Structure formats: C-alpha cells, structure tokens
C-alpha cells in the first residue's frame, strides 16, 4: 500500500521541473509568514518545499503535513486562473523573475492529474484511513 504522502511525492516529482518550481513557490507564498521568502529564487522554493514535505517527524505531524499540502494544492490548482490572472498578485523581482507563465494546456494537465490523484491515494477516504493508522502509530509509540 502506498501512503498518500508517497503518492503525492510521486505525482509532484513527475511534473516537469519548471512546474514543480512554480507550484512550490506559490505554496511558499501562500504559507509563509516571512515576506522576504516571497522573492526567493524558484529553485530555493522547490528545495525548501521538498525538504519540508519529506522531513521525518512523528506520525501525527506527518499526517497533519499531508492535510496541509493537500488543502493548499487544492486551492492553488483548482483556482489557478484567479490566482495567476494578474502579475500584480505575486511580487516579482526583475532580477529573479520568480513566476513563470504556464500555458493553459499545462494547467489542464496538472488539473487532470491532480483530480486523478485526489480520487485515489489522496481521496478523503484513503487519507483519513491512513491518518487513523498514523494516529494509532503515535499512540503505540507512547
């Protein structure tokens, strides 16, 4: 059985690098309290997101991290047209050009693959079952 987190990472790692950078950077903008992080290089956003996503932790926090990732990615992917409509939405440094423009087809591919993943290993039933197992692991570790 593949875990929802492993399924997400497989999905994410199968995306082309520029798309991963883009999604990781938007994730960072949506979740950071440090506004200086908004002008980081896209590669830095990707590296930090990937490191954070796979970080070893106790089971309950790992499950919570997955819910966090799933909810932010749902918002970003399902609302990408509204979020990315305007260059003014994201602070873009002339030196770094943090945000890349994605074609409609690229977003359609991401949306289709995300919906497929959300209907399988990241469905509510699958994720909540895995979370119950993670909570049980946490309880047994006491």
- For 60, 64, 67, the CA distances from 132, given in Å and listed in that order, are 9, 11, 13
pLDDT of residue 92: 45
pTM for the model stands at: 0.82
- Give me 101's structure tokens: 């423009």
Write out the chain's pLDDT in tens, 142 residues: 799 999 999 999 999 888 898 899 889 888 988 877 777 888 898 999 999 999 988 888 888 999 999 999 999 999 887 876 655 444 444 444 544 566 778 788 889 999 999 999 999 999 999 999 888 887 887 6
Q: What local confidence, expressed as pLDDT, does residue 85 receive? A: 67
CA distance 111 to 114: 5
The answer for 93, left when phi > 0, alpha when psi is -120 to 50, beta otherwise, is beta
pLDDT at 87: 52
Tokens of 111: 């949306």
HEC letters along 60-88? HHHHHHHHHHHHHHHHHHHCHHHHCCCHH
Residue 116: HSE in the Cβ half-sphere, 13 Å Cα cutoff: 9
């Amino acid at each position: 059985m593949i875990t929802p987190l492993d399924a997400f990472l497989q999905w994410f790692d199968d995306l082309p690098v520029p798309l991963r950078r883009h999604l990781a950077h938007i994730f960072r903008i949506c979740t950071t309290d440090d506004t200086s992080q908004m002008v980081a290089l896209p590669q830095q956003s990707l590296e930090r997101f990937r490191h954070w996503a796979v970080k070893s932790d106790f089971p309950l926090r790992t499950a919570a991290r997955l819910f966090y990732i799933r909810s932010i990615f749902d918002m970003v992917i399902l609302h990408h047209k509204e979020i990315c409509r305007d260059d003014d939405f994201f602070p873009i440094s002339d030196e770094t050009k943090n945000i890349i423009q994605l074609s409609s087809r690229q977003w359609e591919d991401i949306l289709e693959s995300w919906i497929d993943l959300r209907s399988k290993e990241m469905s509510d039933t699958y994720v909540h079952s895995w979370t119950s197992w993670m909570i049980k692991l946490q309880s047994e570790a006491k």
